[in-house]
Amino acid sequence: MKTKTLVVVIFTVLVALALSDFFVPASLGPENFLTNFFKVSSLMEENIGLRKANLDLQNRLIQSTDNRYQLTDSRYLAAKVFSLYPFNVRSRIYLNIGSEDGVAVGNSVMFSETVFVGTISNVWREVGEASTIFDPDFSLPVRIGEKEIDGLLEGGLSPKIALVDRTKTISPGDAIVSASKDMPYGLFLGKVKVVREDISGAFWEALLDLPYTLGDLRDVLVLVGN
């Protein structure tokens, strides 16, 4: 009786194993794991590239109506961002280009041709260090919306716009652009996400809706000649 039962169990297991190949899609098989992994990575990079192109198209349409936004004397250097994994360093990024490529302290670092990320803070012969808007020590004068209302970008894990005059009106969706004398006017930072009183009650402050995440920063541009 025990032998008969054992035979039945073994037969059942063999049938189950045979049917598993029938019901499990080939694409989920172990031999295709690496192929699928690299396909997903490629699609993610393609999606980021399309987002950059779309952002630049929108921003160029705005710039075309106002000469103050034109980057006539600037050029871009493409750079890869070094990985600092597994360390969760958000405030600074390191690039694979340096002084021998023409990079200098103060150069703007861009997510795309029109979207600002940070500035070069240190440079070596083959490596550049950039302080990003996620750095708590980072600050930048900005203008908000079509009426170009003044504000101050304060960096941090959740960057915000501070010191906005309470008598002015800003709204979610308003574009935020750079207004510092140290870089081209009108580099796009993001849009207003939420408007609220600051802790003193004397000013408005705004949270940012950014067009990228820190994880998207694998390829950037350095704006030289600005």
Q: Please state, for a pLDDT cut of 90, what percent of the chain lies above it.
A: 59
Helices marked H in the chain — which ranges?
Answer: 2-23, 33-63
Residue 125 has pLDDT above 50, yes or no: yes
Q: What is the pLDDT of residues 85-116, one digit of tens each?
A: 888 777 899 999 999 999 999 999 999 999 99
In the block, tokens 């045979």 appear at: 18
Does the predicted model carry a pTM greater than 0.75? Answer: no
Segment (H or E) for 206: strand 203-209
pLDDT over threshold 70, residue 221 = yes
Q: What is the pLDDT of residues 156-172, one digit of tens each?
A: 999 999 999 999 999 99
For all residues of the chain together, what is the average pLDDT? 81
**Among candidates 179, 223, 211, 199, which has minimal Cα distance to 47?**
211
Q: Mean of the pLDDT values across residues 114-131? A: 97
- Is the domain 137-207 a CATH 3.40.50.2300 member? no
Are the CB atoms for 93 and 130 separated by under 8 Å? yes
Q: Which helix (H) or strand (E) holds 79?
A: strand 75-80
> Range with the lowest mean pLDDT among 3-17, 59-73, 182-196, 208-222?
3-17
Same fold for the pair 70-133+212-222 and 137-207: yes
CB burial of residue 189 (10 Å; 0-12, 13-18, 19+): buried
What architecture does CATH give domain 70-133+212-222? Beta Barrel (2.40)
Q: Is the pLDDT of residue 197 over 60?
A: yes
Domain ranges of the chain: 1-69, 70-133+212-222, 137-207
SS3 annotation, 104-165: CCCCEEECCCCEEEEEEEEECCCCEEEEECCCCCCEEEEEECCCCEEEEEECCCCCEEEEEE
The per-residue pLDDT for 89 is: 75
